[in-house]
Amino acid sequence: MKVKFTLNGKPVELDVNPRETLINTLRLRLRIKSVKRGCERGECGACTVLINGNPVVSCILLTIQVNGAEISTIEGLTGDILFEKLVKNFIESGAVQCGFCTPGILLTAYAGIKQGKIRNSEDAKEYVSNLCRCTGYVKIIEAIAKTASEVWSYERRV
Amino acid sequence: MSVEFKFIGKRTPRKDAEAKVTGTLKYTYDLEVPGMLIGRIVRSPYAFADIRRIDISEAIRMGAVVITPSDIPQKPYNPRLVSINEVTYKDTYILTYKPRYLGEPVAAVAASNEELAQKAAESVKIEFERIYKPILDPLEAMKPESPRIHEKILRGDKWIEVENNIAARLDYDEGDVDRGFEEADVVIERTFKTGKRYHMQLEPKAVLVIPEPGGKLTIYTTTQTIHNTRILISQLFDIPESRINVVRVPIGGSFGSSIQTNYLVPIAVALALKAKKPVKIAYTREEDILDHSNFVFHFKIKIGTRKDGVFTAAEFTNILDVGAHQVQPYPLLGTSLGWFVSMYKWKNIRYRGIAVYTNKVPGCALRGYGAPEVQWAVETIVDEIAEKLGIDPVDLRLRNYVGRGEIFWGQGPTVRSVIRSDGVPELLLKGREIIHWNERGNPREKKGRFRRGIGVGRGFHTSGAGGPISGEVIDYTGCILKLNEDGTLDYITALQDHGGGTLDAHVKIIAEELEVPPELINITTASTETTPYDVCTHASRGTYVGGECARRAAQIVKQRILEVALRIIGKAVNPEALRIGYDEGLRQAVVYVEGTDIKLTLAEIARISWQRNWGTIGAFVSYRATSAPPSFTVYYVEVEVDTWTGIVRPLRVIAGADVGTPINPDMVEGQLHGGFAMAWGMAFTENTAYDPVTGEIMGRGLITDYKIPTAADVPIPEEFTIIIAKTYEPTGPFGAKGLGEAAMNPAVAAILNAVYNAIGIRFYELPVTPDKVIEALKERGELEW
Amino acid sequence: MMYTIPEDIEFIIPGDLKETLVLMSKLSDVKVLAGGTDLVVDLKTGRFKPKYVIYIGGLRELEYIRDIDGALHIGALTTIQEILDSKIIAEKTPLLRAAAEKFAYWQIRNIATIGGNLCNASPAADTAPPLLVYDAIIKAESVRGSRLIPIREFFKGPRQTALEQDELVTEIIIPYKGLENSSHSYFKIGRRRGHDISLIAIACAVRVERGIISDVRLALNSVAPIPIRALSVEKALIGKKPSIEIIDESSKLVVHDISPIDDVRAPAEYRQYMAKLLTREALLEVLKKHSGDVK
Q: Look at residue B429 in the predicted model and tell me its pLDDT.
A: 97
In B, minimum Cα distance to A137 occurs at B711
Assign a CATH topology to domain C60-175: 3.30.465
pLDDT at A156 over 60: no
Taking phi first (over 0 means left), then psi (-120 to 50 degrees means alpha), and beta for anything else, what does residue C152 get? alpha
Q: Pairing relation of β-strands B49-55 and A48-51?
A: unpaired
pLDDT band for A155, please (50, 70, 90 cuts). Answer: low
- A122 inside domain: yes
H helix or E strand, kind and range, residue B65: strand B65-67
pLDDT at B770 over 70: yes
Q: How far apart are CA B518 and CA B507, in angstroms?
A: 6
pLDDT at B660 over 70: yes
Secondary structure of residue B693 in the 3-state scheme: coil
Q: How far apart are CA B673 and CA B375, in angstroms?
A: 18
- Whether cis (ω within 30° of 0) applies to the bond prior to B767 is yes
Domain final position from A61, A76, A91: A76
**What number of residues does chain A have?**
158
Cross-strand partners of B173: B350
- A83 inside domain: yes
Do A70 and A82 sit in the same domain of this protein?
A: no
Q: How far apart are CA B531 and CA B513, in angstroms?
A: 21
Secondary structure of residue B656 in the 3-state scheme: strand
Contact B118, B107 (CB under 8 A): no
Q: Look at residue B433 in the predicted model and tell me its pLDDT.
A: 96
At A29-39, the pLDDT tens digits run 999 999 999 99
Counting Cβ atoms within 10 Å, is residue B52 exposed (0-12), middle (13-18) or buried (19+)? exposed
Q: Look at residue B482 in the predicted model and tell me its pLDDT.
A: 97
Q: How far is CA C233 from CA A76, B19, C204, C215, C277, in A?
A: 55, 59, 11, 12, 13
> φ and ψ at B17, to 5 degrees?
-60, -45
Cβ of B771 within 8 Å of Cβ of C197? The answer is no
Contacts of B682 in chain C (CB under 8 A): none
Domain final position from A35, A59, A76: A76
In A, minimum Cα distance to C56 occurs at A65
DSSP character string of B181-239: HHH-SEEEEEEEE--------SSPPEEEEEEPTTS-EEEEE--S-HHHHHHHHHHHHT-
Counting Cβ atoms within 10 Å, is residue B570 exposed (0-12), middle (13-18) or buried (19+)? exposed
pLDDT band for B1, please (50, 70, 90 cuts). Answer: very low
pLDDT at B27 over 60: yes
Q: Is C68 on the interface with B (CB under 8 A)?
A: no
> φ and ψ at B130, to 5 degrees?
-155, 140
Q: How far apart are CA B108 and CA B105, in angstroms?
A: 8
Neighbouring residues of B620: CB distance < 8 A, sequence distance ≥ 6: B478, B479, B480, B532, B553
Boundaries of domain holding A115:
78-152
| % chain A with pLDDT above 70 | 97
- Provide the CATH number for the domain around residue A115: 1.10.150.120
- A130 inside domain: yes
At B232-245, the pLDDT tens digits run 999 999 999 999 99
At B661-692, the pLDDT tens digits run 999 999 999 999 999 999 999 999 999 999 99
Secondary structure of residue B709 in the 3-state scheme: coil
Cβ of A98 within 8 Å of Cβ of B704? The answer is no
Q: Look at residue B701 in the predicted model and tell me its pLDDT.
A: 64
Contact B660, B735 (CB under 8 A): yes
Q: CATH classification of B17-24+476-623, choosing from 3.30.300.90, 2.60.40.10, 1.10.3720.10, 3.30.365.10?
A: 3.30.365.10
Q: How far apart are CA B463 and CA B736, in angstroms?
A: 10
Do A137 and A91 sit in the same domain of this protein?
A: yes
Do A101 and A116 sit in the same domain of this protein?
A: yes
Q: Please, which residues 140-199 of chain C have a Cβ atom closer than 8 Å to chain A?
A: 194-195
Task: Please write down the HEC assignment for all residues of B111-176.
Answer: ECCHHHHHHHHHHCEEEEEEECCCCCCHHHHCCCCCCCCCCEEEECCEEEECCCCEEEEEEEEECC
What does the buried/exposed string (b/e) look like for A121-155 if buried means 16 or more CB atoms within 10 Å of the residue's CB?
bebbbbbbbbbbbbbbbbbbbbbbbbbbeebbeee
Q: CATH classification of B374-464+627-779, choosing from 3.30.365.10, 3.40.190.10, 3.60.20.10, 3.90.780.10?
A: 3.30.365.10
Q: How far apart are CA B778 and CA A127, in angstroms?
A: 35
Contact B783, B771 (CB under 8 A): no
pLDDT at B155 over 50: yes
Instruction: Find the angle CA(B710)-CA(B714)-CA(B718) to the nearest 5 degrees.
Output: 135
Domain C10-55: give its CATH architecture. Answer: 2-Layer Sandwich (3.30)
At B49-104, the pLDDT tens digits run 999 999 999 999 999 999 999 999 889 999 999 999 999 999 999 999 999 999 99
In A, minimum Cα distance to C58 occurs at A65
At B158-191, the pLDDT tens digits run 999 999 999 999 999 999 999 999 999 999 999 9
At A104-119, the pLDDT tens digits run 999 999 999 999 999 9
At B399-442, the pLDDT tens digits run 999 999 999 987 777 778 899 999 999 999 999 999 999 999 99
Test the A interface: residue of B20, B114, B249, B285 with most A CBs within 10 Å:
B20
Do A16 and A30 sit in the same domain of this protein?
A: yes
Contacts of C7 in chain A (CB under 8 A): 19
Q: How far apart are CA C15 and CA C258, in angstroms?
A: 43
Q: Look at residue B414 in the predicted model and tell me its pLDDT.
A: 72
Comparing CB atoms, the residue among A51, A65, A127 nearest residue C106 is A127
Interface of B to C at Cβ within 8 Å reads: 40, 43, 103, 114-115, 118, 121, 284, 286-287, 290, 644-647, 649, 684-685, 689, 698-702, 704-705, 707, 709-713, 769-771, 774-775, 778, 783, 785
| % chain B with pLDDT above 90 | 91
pLDDT band for B471, please (50, 70, 90 cuts). Answer: confident
Q: Look at residue B571 in the predicted model and tell me its pLDDT.
A: 82
Q: Is A50 on the interface with C (CB under 8 A)?
A: no
- Provide the CATH number for the domain around residue A45: 3.10.20.30
Contacts of B38 in chain C (CB under 8 A): none
Q: What is the mean pLDDT of residues B474-499?
A: 96
pLDDT band for B784, please (50, 70, 90 cuts). Answer: low
At B354-383, the pLDDT tens digits run 999 999 999 999 999 999 999 999 999 999
In B, minimum Cα distance to A78 occurs at B22
In C, minimum Cα distance to B645 occurs at C274
Cβ of C281 within 8 Å of Cβ of B287? The answer is no
Do A91 and A145 sit in the same domain of this protein?
A: yes
Cross-strand partners of B459: B633
Cβ of C5 within 8 Å of Cβ of A41? The answer is no
Q: Look at residue C295 in the predicted model and tell me its pLDDT.
A: 45
pTM of the model: 0.96
pLDDT at B785 over 70: no
A·B CB contacts under 8 A: 178
Q: Which chains touch C (3 or more CB pairs under 8 A)?
A: A, B
Cβ of C277 within 8 Å of Cβ of B785? The answer is yes
- A157 inside domain: no
Comparing CB atoms, the residue among A33, A87, A124 nearest residue B30 is A33
Q: For each successive 10 residues of chain C (295 residues), what is the average pLDDT? A: 83 96 96 95 91 96 96 98 97 96 95 97 95 97 97 96 96 91 90 76 93 94 94 95 92 93 84 91 86 51
Q: CATH classification of C183-288, choosing from 3.30.390.50, 3.40.640.10, 2.60.40.1120, 3.40.50.300?
A: 3.30.390.50
Do A37 and A51 sit in the same domain of this protein?
A: yes
Q: Please, which residues 38-97 of chain A have a Cβ atom closer than 8 Å to chain B?
A: 38-41, 43-44, 46, 73-75, 78, 87, 90-97
Contact B421, B727 (CB under 8 A): yes
Do A38 and A65 sit in the same domain of this protein?
A: yes
Mean of the per-residue pLDDT values for chain B?
A: 95
H helix or E strand, kind and range, residue C89: helix C87-92
Q: Please, which residues 192-211 of chain B have a Cβ atom closer than 8 Å to chain A?
A: 199-204
Q: How far apart are CA B125 and CA B72, in angstroms?
A: 19
| Domain residue limits, chain C | 10-55, 60-175, 183-288
> What percentage of chain B's residues is helix, strand, coil (to nearest 5)?
30, 25, 40
Comparing CB atoms, the residue among A1, A68, A129 nearest residue C194 is A129
Q: Look at residue A158 in the predicted model and tell me its pLDDT.
A: 44
Cβ of B710 within 8 Å of Cβ of C2? The answer is no
Q: Look at residue C294 in the predicted model and tell me its pLDDT.
A: 47
Instruction: Of B605, B529, B111, B146, give the one whose Cα is nearest residue B357.
Output: B146
Q: Which chains touch B (3 or more CB pairs under 8 A)?
A: A, C
The interface predicted TM-score (ipTM) is 0.95
Q: How far apart are CA B29 and CA C24, in angstroms?
A: 41
CATH code assigned to B32-134+199-291: 3.30.365.10
Q: Look at residue A154 in the predicted model and tell me its pLDDT.
A: 57
pLDDT band for B644, please (50, 70, 90 cuts). Answer: confident
The total number of structural domains that make up chain A: 2
Do A9 and A72 sit in the same domain of this protein?
A: yes
In A, minimum Cα distance to B671 occurs at A135
Q: What is the mean pLDDT of residues A48-58?
A: 98
Secondary structure of residue B634 in the 3-state scheme: strand
Q: What separation, in Å, do the N-terminal and C-terminal C-alpha atoms of chain C show?
A: 58
Cross-strand partners of C217: C205
Distance from CA of A57 to the nearest CA of C (A): 6
Q: Which amino acid is at B718?
A: E
Do A87 and A148 sit in the same domain of this protein?
A: yes
Q: Please, which residues 639-668 of chain B have a Cβ atom closer than 8 Å to chain A?
A: 664, 666-667
Give ranges for CATH 3.30.365.10 in chain B: 17-24+476-623, 32-134+199-291, 374-464+627-779
Do A71 and A117 sit in the same domain of this protein?
A: no
Q: Please, which residues 218-257 of chain C have a Cβ atom closer than 8 Å to chain B?
A: 252
